[in-house]
């Protein structure tokens, strides 16, 4: 068993309103920054033991399906690195 780090990035689907990102964008503009758009996402870094990187990715995918993401409003992706 090796320890892998799976990174799950959860973002809102296109078309879902993101008031937090809107507020952040406006705050940056008030500070004088020019930007076209800003999107926010949540990132979870999960350390887990698994037999292979693909087993770790499958497990992280199931975590996203069952808890980390809400499929009605979120898309997610999973990346896996060896952590040691």
| 42-79 residues labelled b (16+ CB within 10 A) or e (exposed) | eebebebebeeeebbbebbbebbeeebbeeeebebebe
Which residue in the set 13, 16, 47, 79 belongs to the binding site for its own copies (CB under 8 A)?
Answer: 47
Residue whose CB is less far from its own copies, 72 or 84: 84
Which residue in the set 22, 51, 67, 82 belongs to the binding site for its own copies (CB under 8 A)?
Answer: 67
- The full length of the chain comes to 84
Residue 48 binding its own copies, by CB under 8 A: yes
Residue 31 binding its own copies, by CB under 8 A: yes
Which residue in the set 22, 49, 79, 82 belongs to the binding site for its own copies (CB under 8 A)?
Answer: 49
Residue 77 to residue 84: CA distance in whole angstroms: 22
Q: What are phi and psi of 48, to 5 degrees?
A: -145, 155
Query: What is the contact surface with its own copies in residues (CB under 8 A)?
Result: 3, 9, 11, 21, 24, 27-28, 31, 33-49, 59, 62-63, 66-68
């Amino acid at each position: 068993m090796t320890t892998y780090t799976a990174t799950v990035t959860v973002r809102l689907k296109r078309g879902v309103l993101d008031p937090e990102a809107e507020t952040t964008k406006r705050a940056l503009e008030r500070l004088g920054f020019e930007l076209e758009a800003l999107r926010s996402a949540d990132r979870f870094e999960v350390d887990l033991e698994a037999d292979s990187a693909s087993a770790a990715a499958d497990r992280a995918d199931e975590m996203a399906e069952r808890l980390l993401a809400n499929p009605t409003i979120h898309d997610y992706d999973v990346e896996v690195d060896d952590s040691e």
